[in-house]
Amino acid sequence: MKKLLAIALMLIMLVGCFAGCGASNDDTLIMATNAAFPPYEYVENGEYVGIDVEIATLIAKELDMKLEIKDVEFGSIIGGVQSGKYDIGMAGMTVTEDRLKSVNFSTSYANGIQSVIVKNDCPYASYEDFYTGFDADGNPKGVVEGIKIGVQQDTTGDIYCSSVPAEWGFGEENVIRYKTGADAVQALIEGKVTAVIIDNEPAKAFVSVNEGLKIQSTEFANEDYAIAINKDNEELLKKVNDALAKLTESGEIKKIVDKYIK
């Protein structure tokens, strides 16, 4: 009898875990994000707000589901979506060839730019001046001694900057990775890095609240933001794309973007 009770208990615990531990609880859409990325996702008065948060709320509504937000490290979002821990990853996330090997992406709902933040008195007018010169094909030969670039770890800014100069990076040795964009900007203020390369909208937000910083006029890269979804969940991908199409058509997405980006 005791044995039976123990087995029954184990079964109950297992079922409970399936319902509670995994992502796909039928009526809850679990969104993984990194809420330190204004104006896409950030915390205000103890609440998650921002473009992604509002779009995800509308998508969940379209899907007749309840949205649950998990604030995690940016670098753990793709893995969590891939393992089924989260239903969607939405974090101003750029579509890249490499990420597409691990997850599917919805249709893109926004454009991103990698911008260069420097101090007002920075002697370099453009990131191109961080290089020592260019070869016959026009690619950088090397990086000026002493140049250090701050990035938010695991982002496209980090990936591009960490590649070699010949591929328009600055070399691993000249890149310092920070947990958040705000930490990278703090390092710039303290003179630990020459520049921070990060998505344009958070760059604008950081510059507006910190005196003595500016964004260089040359864009470092141009990219598309989309929602990451598990490769095996084609059904959710379709539903999310349908919802995005509907919300774009009705003007809802533009309304949200215009509210946050002036």
Where does this chain bind ligand GLN (CB under 6 A)?
Answer: 34, 37, 74, 91-94, 112, 152, 155-156, 199
Least separation in angstroms between residue 22's CB and ligand GLN is: 24
Nearer to ligand GLN, 30 or 110 (CB): 110
Nearer to ligand GLN, 92 or 165 (CB): 92
Least separation in angstroms between residue 207's CB and ligand GLN is: 16
Give the whole-angstrom CA distance, residue 48 versus residue 42: 6
Nearer to ligand GLN, 79 or 142 (CB): 79
Assign 48 to helix, strand or coil.
Answer: strand
Least separation in angstroms between residue 199's CB and ligand GLN is: 5
User: Which residue type sits at 88?
Assistant: I
Half-sphere exposure of 120 (CA within 13 A, CB side): 6
Least separation in angstroms between residue 130's CB and ligand GLN is: 20
Nearer to ligand GLN, 164 or 221 (CB): 221
Contact status, residue 40 vs residue 201, Cβ threshold 8 Å: yes
Give the whole-angstrom CA distance, residue 167 versus residue 244: 34
For residue 89, CA distances in Å to 85, 191, 196, 240 come to 10, 33, 24, 12
Least separation in angstroms between residue 40's CB and ligand GLN is: 7
Q: What share of the chain is helix, strand, coil (3-state, %, to 5)?
A: 40, 25, 35
User: Which residue type sits at 13?
Assistant: M
Nearer to ligand GLN, 41 or 87 (CB): 41
Tell the burial category of 12 from Cβ atoms under 10 Å away from its Cβ (0-12, 13-18, 19+).
exposed
Nearer to ligand GLN, 34 or 233 (CB): 34
Could you tell me how many helices (H) and strands (E) the chain has, helices first? 9, 16
Least separation in angstroms between residue 104's CB and ligand GLN is: 15
